[in-house]
Amino acid sequence: MSSSEANSLADSQNLDLVKISPNAVPPVCKIMDYGKFMFDKAKREKEQRKNQKIVELKEVQLSMTIEQHDIDIKAKNALKFLQAGNKVKVVLRMRGRQQAYSAKGIEIVNNFCNQVEEFASKEKDPKVEGRNVVVVLSPKVKK
């Protein structure tokens, strides 16, 4: 039907003529209450934003000279972050001569990861990046 006929039909029903696919040949239009349509659309988008969870990246810092009790405390904090649904970045900082013993640093990070493996999984294996040994842990999906 022509656009003038569609406009007159929409006006007679006190509704709006809305182009659904303006680039199609011929353009596809729909007769509807545009204000109500936009209100419903905004309401759906707001609901989707409310339901979506933003995953943050939390960081736990270790050192080469860390003791087991301190690792336990850091692991406990990391578990809190993981249970809240956040990812945890574990960083071991090496200073001075410690950089020559990066294998020991990787061992410490692996020990830390083994303590939280019940709730987390490694995205990648620990990796030496400059002065740091880095690994990112993500929470395991609950079944």
Domain positions in the chain are 3-51, 57-139
pLDDT band at 135 (very low <50, low <70, confident <90, very high): very high
Tokens of 48: 């989707």
Task: Tell me what percent of the residues of the chain surpass a pLDDT of 70.
Answer: 99
Residue 81: strand, helix, or coil: helix
Q: Tokens standing for 56?
A: 């943050």
Location of structure tokens 């936009």:
38
Domain 57-139 fold is Translation Initiation Factor IF3 (3.30.110)
- Please give the residue that has the higher pLDDT: either 33 or 55: 33
The whole-chain average pLDDT of the chain stands at: 88
Residues 45-56: what's their mean pLDDT? 83
Q: Which CATH class is domain 3-51?
A: alpha beta
pLDDT, tens only, 66-91? 899 999 999 999 999 988 888 999 99
